Amino acid sequence: MTTNHHHSQDLMASIDKLRKEVAKVIVGQEELIERLIIALLCQSHVLIEGIPGLAKTLTVNTLAQALGLSFNRVQFTPDLLPGDLTGTQIYNPSNGQFDTQKGPIFANIILADEINRSPAKVQSALLEAMQEKQVTLGKTIHPLPKPFLVLATQNPIEQEGTYPLPEAQVDRFMFKLKVVYPSFEEELIVLQRMSTPNRDKPSIEPVFNLDELTYLCNKVGEIHLAESLEKYILHLVTATRKPKQYDLAITDMIRFGASPRASINLAMAARAYALLQGRDHVQPSDIRNLAPDILRHRIALSYKAEAQNIDSDQLIEQILAHVAIPND
Distance CA 244, CA 248 (A): 5
**Same-domain check for residues 20 and 160:** yes
Q: Is 189 within 8 Å of 29 (Cβ atoms)?
A: no
Backbone angles phi, psi at 231, to 5 degrees: -70, -35
**Same-domain check for residues 109 and 10:** yes
The reply to whether 206 falls in a domain is no
Using alpha carbons, list the distances in angstroms from residue 241 to 75, 85, 258, 261, 292: 36, 36, 7, 13, 15
**pLDDT for res 137:** 86
**Same-domain check for residues 287 and 187:** no
**Same-domain check for residues 183 and 247:** no
Q: How many domains does the chain have?
A: 2
Instruction: Quick: pLDDT tens for 144-190.
Output: 998 999 999 887 766 666 787 887 788 899 999 988 778 898 888 88
**Same-domain check for residues 8 and 91:** yes
Question: Which string of DSSP letters, residue by residue, matches 231-283?
Answer: HHHHHHHHHHH-GGGGT-S-GGGEEE---HHHHHHHHHHHHHHHHHTT-SB--
Beta strand ranges found along 39-189 (DSSP E): 46-49, 71-75, 87-92, 97-102, 109-113, 134-137, 140-143, 149-154, 175-178
What is the residue range of 230's domain?
222-322
**pLDDT for res 285:** 95
pTM above 0.85, yes or no: yes
- Intervals of the chain under pLDDT 50: 1-6
The reply to whether 209 falls in a domain is no
Within 10 angstroms of residue 296's Cβ, the number of other Cβ atoms is 21
**pLDDT for res 8:** 67
Using alpha carbons, list the distances in angstroms from residue 160 to 8, 53, 157, 177, 310: 49, 19, 8, 22, 22
The reply to whether 64 falls in a domain is yes
**pLDDT for res 6:** 46
- Residue ending a domain, among 194, 212, 236, is 194
**pLDDT for res 221:** 93
**Same-domain check for residues 182 and 254:** no
**pLDDT for res 38:** 94
**Same-domain check for residues 126 and 240:** no
CATH number reported for the structural domain that contains residue 318 in this entry: 1.10.8.80
**pLDDT for res 41:** 92
Instruction: Quick: pLDDT tens for 231-269.
Output: 999 999 999 998 888 888 888 888 888 999 999 999 999
Kind plus residue range of the DSSP H or E element containing 301: strand 300-301
Residue 108: half-sphere exposure toward Cβ, Cα within 13 Å: 21
The reply to whether 122 falls in a domain is yes
The helices-and-strands tally (H runs, E runs) of the chain is 13, 11
**pLDDT for res 199:** 73
DSSP SS3 for 310: coil
